[in-house]
Chain A
Amino acid sequence: MHSGDMEPDNGYDENGKKINDLGGDKTDYILRKNPFGGDGYQILDQVNVEHSYGPYGNHEGYGYRMHNQLPSPGLYDPSFDFAASSVGGAVAGKAVGFGVGYFNKATGGLKQWVRTGSSYSIEGGFKTYSTRWGAGGNHWKKIGNSTSQKWNKSFRQTKLPGNNWRVQDPGHFHWWKK
């Protein structure tokens, strides 16, 4: 899909650097300059923007906006409304929600650290079912915090002890050959 006929909300390049600001806060796009020329962009990926609020300052990046304020009731996310039966509970629920949102952006979310599913064993040379840890390829760029990025890269390079093909690939435990 090419976006020559549309106006992206906010565009980021493939390294997560913001490259345009058309004011939208609903959808973010990873864009690449149209390789065929012209002013249009090619959309590589898109996500719905998540907003979080808290005492951490204003930050934004691909797919998230952090606002340095408490939310108005209209911006309240009901998904965190697990303790709204009392005022104190509601405030606590919001605080947890803000923390979770901030934590997810700083760490990139749980999937950047651990996940499971089909994979490929470099050592074995066949497809497998595996559990992986640490971000693969360039996914570490989705982690917002630079310290978390470093930890994640180190985590990815760790291997379980042993000489078996199941543990030879860094960041992988291959459960079985497919």
Chain B
Amino acid sequence: MKYLKFSLPIEVKKKEENFSQKIISKILKTILPISNPDFENRIDDVKHWLVEFDEENIPTREIGLDGDSEVILKMPHKKNYGFWTDNELFYDDFISRFSAVEVDRIAFDAKWNVLN
């Protein structure tokens, strides 16, 4: 297992959904399962991500931290499918795209165990 920590470029101004987007998302949520029902509204608040990768460099677990490095989400967890674990990016992609740095398993597990 390998672990990375990175930050996405911070949005200066948080975009609110416009009227048509609200209608579309409401329809979609009515007819389709929501990927991360518990954390959908927290994903945009994540400042730092911790991601675990398997031997094939595929993301297997992820933790979202806020600006104070407090855990605000972890996935996959319960009915929450995942954000990066539902993408096609691999270990090296996170390093090249987001300048991710390695962290150790102890640091990852300590954060993982914070949220139940």
Contacts and interface: CB of A to CB of B under 8 A. Distances in A.
Contact of B32 (A119, A125, A131, A138): A131
Contacts of B17: 129
B61 interface: yes
Bin chain B's interface residue count: 35 or more
B33 A116 contact: yes
A137 B82 contact: yes
B28 A131 contact: yes
A166 B17 CA distance: 17
Interface residues of A, number: 33
Contacts, number: 97
A14 B54 contact: yes
Contacts of A45: 76-77
B7 interface: no
A137 B85 contact: yes
A124 B15 CA distance: 17
Given A111-B81, A122-B87, A138-B85, A175 B32 contact: no
A110 interface: yes
Interface string B47-78: 00000001000111100000000000000111
A115 B33 contact: yes
B32 A114 contact: yes
A111 B37 CA distance: 12
Nearest to B43: A118
Interface of B: 8, 15, 17, 21, 24-25, 28-29, 32-36, 40, 43-44, 54, 58-61, 76-78, 81-89, 93, 97, 105-106, 109, 113, 116
